[in-house]
Amino acid sequence: MKWTNDITQMLNIEYPIIQAPMFGVTTPEMVAAASRANCLGSLALADLSADKCVEAIRTTKELTNKTFAVNIFVHQIPEITEPLKEKYIKTKIFIEQLAKQNNLDVILPNINELKINSYHEQIDAIIEENCKIVSFTFGNLDQQSIDKLKSNGTTLIGTCTSVNEAIILEKSGIDIICVQGLEAGGHRGSFSSEDIPKIGGLSLLAQVNESVDVPIIYAGGIYNAKTLLASKILGASGFQIGSLLLGSAESALKDFEKERLRKVDEADIVLTNSFSGRFARGIKNTFISATEHTEFILPYPYQNKITNELRRVSKANQNTNFVNIWVGQSINNFSGQSTTEIIRKLIVETEYNSY
């Protein structure tokens, strides 16, 4: 199989395989390990402060001298109104009582204690640290940010979950589009946090490929050679893998979370907005069951912020019922090998199956 293409040339990698930026799972060690496989490592910065971004970028640079991508969230931040304050208080009480009923002692922050970061403060930090590949999700960058990054020689990778989103990204000058199927693990990259497109990945990929001219990365369900090759036939030049790396040696998941992951059944995997206020695919548990379809789900990022302490305490108590374990629909053995070895195995398997 010929791996060299527009993606490898633009991203300066040997293989057009991208390690997914999974905030809470990705570590600088994982990024470096993906780079050792001559693929693109992606450092998840999410909505970290500028200072935390710099810290994470510099830690990663100490582990690899290869170019890696940084990934940021570009969502709109809802204004704090009186109705939102009231709903926050009710949600806080509900979650604290639910935790107590399940032997978890949790005190959640008040809404005025939350630190909500905008992606705009991350842009300068990324440029100052000379990061030349920026991927983003939950919407599109504003034109000023696009121009600022591109004037500094930055390659931009936007995420779409519909044809319309792909067209918007292309028209605004984004260099590469990552097409995310509904089967992918973790958060939907949708521009909207509520009215999310429910389009299967391969169907969406084929339609986006017919609608835009920029190179496409496909994300959603790739876990072996056949799934990778299927996305290649339908128009993908790059292949993003996430769930395949959840159990890896470099994954930030704790051992008890990896153990639960390796016992997962297809019926356990659901799409939920309970933990963050944005829909994400992961393993159903007590918190999701108790919270779904209730009034106690705040808009993103407030739900995500209010559940942070709950998840921290749950991790400390090795309690899988109150942590989010994001995973896609393609169940695999969630190997504990190095990210480097997992990717190399995928490359070898793909080359064998392509003839």
* 227-244 per-position pLDDT tens digit: 999 999 999 999 999 999
Band (pLDDT 50/70/90 cuts) for residue 354 is confident
Is the pLDDT score of 154 beyond 80?
A: yes
Was domain 1-77+116-253+333-355 assigned CATH 3.20.20.70? Answer: yes
- The string of pLDDT tens digits covering residues 70-81 is 999 999 999 999
Band (pLDDT 50/70/90 cuts) for residue 284 is very high
Distance CA 335, CA 241 (A): 13
CB 4 within 8 A of CB 38: no
- The string of pLDDT tens digits covering residues 95-141 is 999 999 999 999 999 999 999 999 999 999 999 999 999 999 999 99
Band (pLDDT 50/70/90 cuts) for residue 40 is very high
- The mean of the pLDDT values for the chain is 97
- The string of pLDDT tens digits covering residues 191-231 is 998 889 999 999 999 999 999 999 999 999 999 999 999 99
CB atoms within 10 A of CB 226: 12
Is the pLDDT score of 355 beyond 80?
A: no
Domain ranges of the chain: 1-77+116-253+333-355, 80-115+254-324
Is the pLDDT score of 153 beyond 80?
A: yes
Segment 171-186 shows an average pLDDT of: 97
DSSP state of 5: S
Segment 33-59 shows an average pLDDT of: 98
**pLDDT (0 to 100) of residue 1:** 82
CB 204 within 8 A of CB 181: yes
* Nearest CA among 122, 121, 124, 127 for reference residue 153: 127
Four-point Cα dihedral 2, 6, 9, 13, nearest 10: -60
**pLDDT (0 to 100) of residue 103:** 95
CB atoms within 10 A of CB 340: 20
- Residue 76 CA, chain-centre distance (Å), reads 17
CB 154 within 8 A of CB 132: yes
**pLDDT (0 to 100) of residue 168:** 98
**pLDDT (0 to 100) of residue 195:** 85
Band (pLDDT 50/70/90 cuts) for residue 5 is very high
Alpha-carbon distances of 221 from 224, 250, 283, rounded to whole Å = 9, 20, 16
